[in-house]
Chain A
């Protein structure tokens, strides 16, 4: 009887050692309070975006934004080349534009659904009444079409603040290199900015 007591007693230290091995493999990193975010936040040196060697610059026409974001200056996609009938001053001179059904013929495709019915915006709320090549904000300042964010941001200041910082809108093509972002009107039709309801482009096939 004593022999087997001896043998099983010899098993105990081996069992303990094995348990230690298991715990060593367990690496209790998840249970600790530390997080990789502490290291992330400790980094203070700005990242040199140009250090990513293979980044290709954006080829679409851009303008330098009139505001700076936390990383300095950035560029915005230009809009004037996208507007079909720009320059507006080719029709809208000092004289009034006269013509039968001129509004429907030229700007009939514009459906203004900006704001709630009854209190919705009208054309003159954004467009400069004299200089049709520019927009006008509520303070009477002329705003260029490429910099329409200055106008949108007067009311939608939260979205504009987020857009400048990067939580709203989208960067064009690259996460590295010089920052180029989409303009407000690249995504939102300024006359009816809300995205249309549509079907999803694809669906997930259930697994059974």
Chain B
């Protein structure tokens, strides 16, 4: 074997040939290392072969993002670092200037929600506001909120029509809305194998989108059709993106991850109402702090006949329906 190699070296006595040989070896090694880097980078970015467009800074940020912890276990420092990375990635990739917050839950707060089925007229302003506020995928028409046109005498949404599109309200029908009910005893939280979804101390059931592995077990476990999955890359027109975001809320969700209503965590932790409550033109939605005995939600629970959907399942949702 060694003898053969010496022969080859002796053959390439011509200096230009020798240079070409060396450069071909060098370029081969260079190509191999670039190839290895590209393969490892593409592995990190999820087999997406558009590495050519990515800068090295972007790759470094994505690399760091890949190995981060579950949000619940992060220190405030790490949380700040990850949102800084996410904001920088958004500005590099899409040219968007975002403000991703990490607001912790407000002390002594447990959010509750009430829906007035007498007052809802089926206008679906809530659905539209939710889509805009939470940057939901326009391509697949993702909607966290569903409104059902119900036949009086029946309370089961399976007896109602969730896909109506005509002048509303229709006489002798009532309208009922569903979304994630942020159950106190949520089956989805129990089902998640990596604890990527949990209930925050203020009662909001959240998802760490980067920790989720996309197994969709929580979606099978939810009795209320509260969860949505990112089957593809989400698309939102740039001018419609809500830039005030929260890490656990309305930031751009990666492909293959679960998402759901978060009671507009980016708004409610700053004392604002969720987008659906604010948008409702008939005032059918009531939101507030259950731990405040003087709040509107407590007034509703005290003075109105309230019920919850599928209460017999024992999920303890924090979303009540009431009639005037």
Do chains A and B make direct contact within the complex (CB under 8 angstroms)? yes
| Chain A residues within 8 Å of B, Cβ to Cβ | 27, 29-31, 35-36, 40, 43-44, 46-47, 49, 51-52, 54-56, 69-72, 158-159, 162, 165-171, 173-177, 182, 187, 195, 197-206
Is the beta-carbon distance between A202 and B324 smaller than 8 angstroms?
Answer: no
Is the beta-carbon distance between A162 and B324 smaller than 8 angstroms?
Answer: yes
Residues of B within 8 A of A35 (CB): 184, 316
- Bound together, the chains give a CA A71 to CA B299 distance in angstroms of 10
Is the beta-carbon distance between A203 and B289 smaller than 8 angstroms?
Answer: no
List residues 301-321 of chain B with CB under 8 A from any CB of chain A. Answer: 303-304, 313-316
- Bound together, the chains give a CA A197 to CA B170 distance in angstroms of 8
- Bound together, the chains give a CA A201 to CA B147 distance in angstroms of 12
Instruction: Classify the interface of chain B: helix, strand, loop or mixed.
Output: loop
Is the beta-carbon distance between B168 and A201 smaller than 8 angstroms?
Answer: no
Is the beta-carbon distance between A44 and B293 smaller than 8 angstroms?
Answer: yes
Residues of A within 8 A of B198 (CB): none
| Chain B residues within 8 Å of A, Cβ to Cβ | 103, 106-110, 114, 116, 119, 121-125, 127-128, 131, 141, 143, 146-147, 162-169, 184-185, 190, 268-273, 277-278, 280-283, 285-297, 299-300, 303-304, 313-316, 322, 324
Q: Which of B162, B269, B282, B314 contacts A31 (CB 8 A)?
A: B314
- Bound together, the chains give a CA A158 to CA B304 distance in angstroms of 12
A-B contact pairs, 21 of them (CB 8 A): A30-B315, A40-B291, A44-B293, A47-B293, A52-B271, A54-B269, A54-B271, A70-B293, A71-B294, A158-B324, A159-B324, A162-B324, A167-B286, A167-B303, A170-B283, A171-B296, A175-B277, A177-B271, A199-B165, A199-B168, A200-B147
Residues of A within 8 A of B108 (CB): 47, 51
- Bound together, the chains give a CA A31 to CA B313 distance in angstroms of 9
3 pairs of A and B residues whose beta carbons are closest in the complex: A166-B296, A55-B271, A30-B314
Known: A175-B289, A199-B166. A166 touches B125 (CB 8 A): no
Q: Which of B122, B146, B271 contacts A176 (CB 8 A)?
A: B271
